[in-house]
Amino acid sequence: MDVRDVVFSAIMVFSGFILVYKLVYAYTPGDIVIAISAVFLIGMIAALLLSLNERLRALEAEVKEHERSLRVSMRSVEEEVQNKLGGAVKKLDELREEVLRRGYR
């Protein structure tokens, strides 16, 4: 978790507290329970967003690892196909040379 994420969460909770505090005291003075519960709710939303951010980072790392693995597998398959194709082309060239030596027309 980055420091930036923690700072943004703290700012979000603080601004939510101020908004709810002002809203509550504008209509029903003295009811601090509503302000505290709203701050708690905003804090949980911030924690949820941070949790989602961490899960997305883990998923991104996993996808990169699979991509790297797939890339290595594709290279090995490509090399194997090139080797087999090279062998087949070599055999065909040998057969062509043999046919040309015999004078087949």
Rounded to whole angstroms, how far apart are CA atoms 87 and 77? Answer: 15
- Whether the model clears a pTM of 0.85, i.e. scores above it, the answer is no
What range does the domain containing 70 cover?
A: 3-102
> Within 13 Å and on the Cβ side, how many CA atoms surround 85?
6
DSSP 8-state code for residue 85: H
Q: In 3D, which of 57, 11, 14, 17 has the Cα closest to residue 37? A: 17
Residue located via tokens 């505090």? 21
Q: What local confidence, expressed as pLDDT, does residue 1 receive?
A: 63
Each residue's pLDDT tens digit, 69-97: 999 999 999 999 999 999 999 999 998 88
Number of folded domains that form the chain: 1
